[in-house]
Structure 1
Amino acid sequence: MSNLENKVGLPELRFPEFINYPKWEEKSFSKLFEIGGGKDHKHLADGDVPVYGSGGYMRSVNDYLYDGKSACIGRKGTINNPMFLTGKFWTVDTLFYTHSFKNCIPEFVYLLFQNIDWLKLNEAGGVPSLSKVIINKIEVLIPKEKEQQKIVDCISSMDDLITTNTKKLELLKFHKKGLMQKLFPAEGENKPDFRFPEFSMEANWKKEKLHNLVDLLSGHAFKSEYFSTTGKKMVTPKNFTKNGFASFSEDNTKYTSEDFNERYICREGDLLLLLTDLTPSCELLGRPMLLTPSDGEVLLNQRIAKVILKGNINSNFLKYFFLSNSFRKRIINTATGSTVRHTSNKIVLSTELLLPNLSEQNKIAACLLSIDELIRSQADKIETLKEYKKGLMQQLFPEMKESIA
């Protein structure tokens, strides 16, 4: 590719063979393709043709609405998530599809769709909605088809790389899940399916009540009037994840200027437990968080408990116990509340667990931590690839004003 001065109608980066090509032309979508509307599918029998709505795949039927390549965009609901379909498919009335392309290829239209802030074009006050009229009026810059194909091939190679690395991430997660099932005793057993060789002759794991091993410190109800964009960082339910690590981002981090007791300060190595879950599926109820150096100091907020070790137990081993199927099953089955689900210090502390000696705990924790590091490294790699793709898209396309004709 060659660097070019960013001029109107020209991308910042252009492949060498297109340097002498004319500037990209400004055209409305109405000049490039036609928009098809989805139809009801309930009368159709089951088959092998996929049905899609704005939220994605719905079912498979015995008839098709269109056969070919198509860039699709939501008519109602999820209007900011374009998708690319190929072959025979059916769409319902919440999803528009494109067809009858003129001087453009479907894959390039899909890239154009990804560059548009569709939410800005929302026509409804409630559920987000788009219309054919609005979409047809959108004006974009577009090169000749040969250059379109070159750009599509370039971005597709990035997508393939992201897909390959995403599959690798899923395999790592699947491997960890299977390993945890083997490293912890199954229900009704007193030793795991797999033990490291040096512990094969050790005694069976011993049953313990958590209250003999830990105490719980409940968080403080910090007052909302002191919430701010500066001050001391708090840990809230939004900072918990399904994998036991904290997630502090610009969108989910809260601060307070309220005076606080030193006992509510949490630091690296502290193990926290979420006692309330706002999600309907209870995905986060009872999930742990082990603070790392990058998390910094945080204040212990209400609905969260700090785990204070007092017995012979490894904090990372305990974190993985909190992530285990047996603990998850107990917490969810004993949860109270309808809309918002809760567990309590009493329920947690009365939980029984099987415990090996400290050396075996350390070995199990170290093994699972090493896999977690691989998972986090792989996730970071995927995010880096996505950011690179985003930057590449910005350079391969002229600045788009998203104007309406």
Structure 2
Amino acid sequence: MSNQVAEVSAKYLSEAAKNAVPVGYKQTEVGMIPEDWGVCELEEVITLQRGFDLPNRLRQPGTIPIVSSSGVTGFHNKAMIKAPGIVTGRYGTIGQIFYLRESFWPLNTTLYVSEFKKVSPEYAYHLLKTVDFESHSGKSGVPGVNRNDVYQERICVPSAKEQTAIANALSDVDALISELEKLIAKKQAIKTATMQQLLTGRTRLPQFALREDGTPKGTKPSELGEIPEDWVVKKIGDFTDCTAGGTPSTSISGYWGGTHPWMSSGELHLKRVFDVAERITDSGLANSSTKYVPVDSVLIGLAGQGKTRGTVAIARISLCTNQSIASVFPSESHSTDYLFYNLDNRYEELRGLSTGDGGRGGLNLTIIRNLSLPYPDIEEQTAIATILSDMDAEIQALEQRLGKTRQIKQGMMQELLTGKTRLVQPLNKESQHG
């Protein structure tokens, strides 16, 4: 009997501990919040208004930004809303939120905050980012945000002092995110310019720029335009070959879930393929046209009306592919990374080469084999690819840092906007009452 009592007591105490209210906090309909915070509906702290029509014929040249659901779409000579202001997407990019520190004209595709009550504009901006606008759209049959539904969102509100502290902390992280985004864009632009120079031979790396007598190497005409005098033009079929894959029947479960990596064309966006989502069995491999391609094969999307057709990646493992991917084999006479960068830099050209009316068809192996490219010796190909790979590694490191910073911000929002972590000393009961 005593053991049963002990077990029941332990269970009761455990449940009580789960439901216990920490000192300085209170249980509310939005969860546990600090005692000195309040709870209200969103309508009590902000007023959302629709934007205003501004037909093109009425737009006058100026410096006032015109804001739509997707951001700044132009400029006008007149402001409708004074700064600061917050705009959120009402159609299209629903829930996309902009904070404007200058006066602006909101188009009618947006919702903007016309009045701040109990909250500062800076705090309201971060608060609105926690609202699930998607869940408040389309209820009337129109694919847009229903502001009356949004108004019913229950939120918690700290003191003005704590609002300022929270907004400042989150804005500091936003500033870091913005700087990282700008730096990544700058590095990407530098890489693009470097590719255009190195892959065409307009700029030579120092160790390849001079003749044996020390004079600068010149250029010569070719079917691709001017190229370095010691380069040639080759078709892919001149120095290697390519193949396409296949797809085991999806209606036969025994073909799927095995050990052989099988890549779909949707995974070309990985660019450097170290792993893929699907696996096929021995039977799936044997009973389809898919086949293994070697490590370092360059992969090209052959079909697809979206972005897939013409997308280029490189296999860092040996794998099988579907029929919508061409795999260009590695060889001893060319650098696969050089070929990858050359083709990756020709995305629009590849899409334009597609068979079918207006390029709406697809690429094929004949087109791939007949693609021409400037072709330096393999030492220079490797050196060019190394420079570009180093730049990619730097960009990837920055993107990883950006991703981590965004995760940190999400964690900060969850902690700060709910009061789990406090940035100011909580008000004591005496100060609360007077």
Cα separation, 2, equivalents of 1:183 and 1:67: 49
Q: CA deviation at 1:222?
A: 3.5
Q: Is the 8 A contact 1:234 1:256 kept in 2?
A: yes
Q: 1:6 to 1:165 in 2, by over 3 A?
A: farther
Partner residue in 2 for 1:320: 341
Aligned residue type for 1:98: V
The match for 1:17 is none
Distance 1:317 1:24, change over 3 A: same
1:37 paired residue number: 50
Partners of 1:199 and 1:246 lie apart in 2 by 34
Deviation at 1:229, TM superposition (A): 9.5
Comparing both chains, which one has the higher relative contact order based on Cα–Cα distances under 8 Å and sequence gaps of 6 or more?
1
Letter in 2 for 1:30: E
TM-superposed CA distance for 1:80, in Å, is 2.4
Report the CA distance shift for 1:328/1:30 in structure 2 as closer, same or farther (over 3 A): closer
1:157 aligned to which of 160, 172, 182: 172
Residues 361-372 of structure 1: pairs in structure 2 closer than 5 A? 361-372=381-392
Once the two structures are superposed, the pairs formed by residues 5-84 of structure 1 within 5 Å of their partners are 8=27, 22-42=35-55, 43-84=58-99
Quick one: distance in 2 between partners of 1:73 and 1:331? 38
Please state if 1:260 is matched with 2:298: no
Instruction: Tell me the secondary structure at the aligned position of residue 243 of structure 2.
Output: strand
Contact map agreement 1:13 1:395 (CA 8 A) in 2: no
Pair 1:103–1:383, CA change in 2 (3 A): same
Select which of 285, 288, 292 maps to 2:309: 285
Q: CA deviation at 1:399?
A: 8.4
Structure 1 233/151 Cα, relative in aligned 2: closer, same or farther at 3 Å? farther
Q: Does 1:178 align with 2:204?
A: no
The CA deviation at 1:298 is: 4.2
Alignment match, 1:300 = 321
Distance in 2 between the 1:105 and 1:286 partners?
48
Change (3 A) 1:132 1:331: closer
Structure 1 distance, partners of 2:190, 2:23, is 47
Structure 1: gaps of 5 or more residues: 15-20, 186-190, 401-405
Q: How does 1:6-405 map to 2 (within 5 A)?
A: 8=27, 22-42=35-55, 43-124=58-139, 128-185=143-200, 191-198=201-208, 200-201=210-211, 204-225=230-251, 231=258, 233-241=261-269, 244-246=271-273, 253-254=277-278, 259-261=284-286, 264-266=291-293, 268-279=295-306, 283-292=307-316, 298-310=319-331, 312-324=333-345, 327-328=346-347, 330-337=349-356, 340-398=360-418
Amino acid aligned to 1:344: N
- 8 Å CA contact 2:309, 2:351 repeated in 1: yes
SS of equivalent residue, structure 2 residue 247: coil
In 2 relative to 1, CA 102–89 (structure 1 residues): closer, same or farther, beyond 3 Å?
A: same
SS at match of 1:240: helix
SS of the residue 2:104 aligns to:
strand
**How far does residue 365 in structure 1 lie from its aligned partner after superposition?**
1.2
Contact 1:53 1:74 in 2 (8 A): yes
Contact 1:221 1:301 survives alignment (8 Å): yes
> Deviation at 1:352?
1.6
Q: In 1, Cα distance between the equivalents of 2:330 and 2:230?
A: 23
Give the letter aligned to residue 200 of structure 1. Answer: L
Conservation of the 8 A alpha-carbon contact between 1:9 and 1:24: no
SS of equivalent residue, structure 2 residue 333: coil
Once the two structures are aligned, what percentage of the paired residues are identical?
20
CA distance in 2, matches of 1:39, 1:277: 39
Q: 1:267 to 1:84 in 2, by over 3 A?
A: farther
For 2:280 and 2:24, locate their aligned partners in 1 and report how far apart those are by CA, in whole Å.
Answer: 47
The amino acid that maps onto 1:47 is: G
Shift of 1:368: 1.1
Q: Deviations over 1:262-321 (max 9, x none)?
A: 962356433211112432xxx5432321123xxx66430121011113461011111111
Q: TM-score, normalised by structure 1?
A: 0.82
Question: Any idea what the Cα deviations from partners look like across 1:220-260, whole Å, max 9, x if unmatched?
Answer: 0333435899555532232223x8434979xxx45556711
Rounded to whole Å, the distance in 1 between the matches of 2:240 and 2:72 is 46
| Aligned-partner residue type, residue 361 of structure 1 | Q
CA contact (8 A) 2:247 2:290 kept: no
Give the whole-Å Cα distance in 1 for the aligned partners of 2:178 and 2:256.
Answer: 37
**Counterparts of 1:213 and 1:383, CA distance in 2:** 40
Change (3 A) 1:341 1:71: farther
Taking structure 1 as reference, are residues 41 and 146 closer, same or farther at Cα in structure 2, changes over 3 Å only?
A: same
Cα deviation digits, residues 330-370 of structure 1 (max 9, x gap): 42332234595421111111122221111111111111111
**One-letter amino acid of the structure 1 residue matched with residue 205 of structure 2:** R
Q: 1:233 to 1:89 in 2, by over 3 A?
A: farther
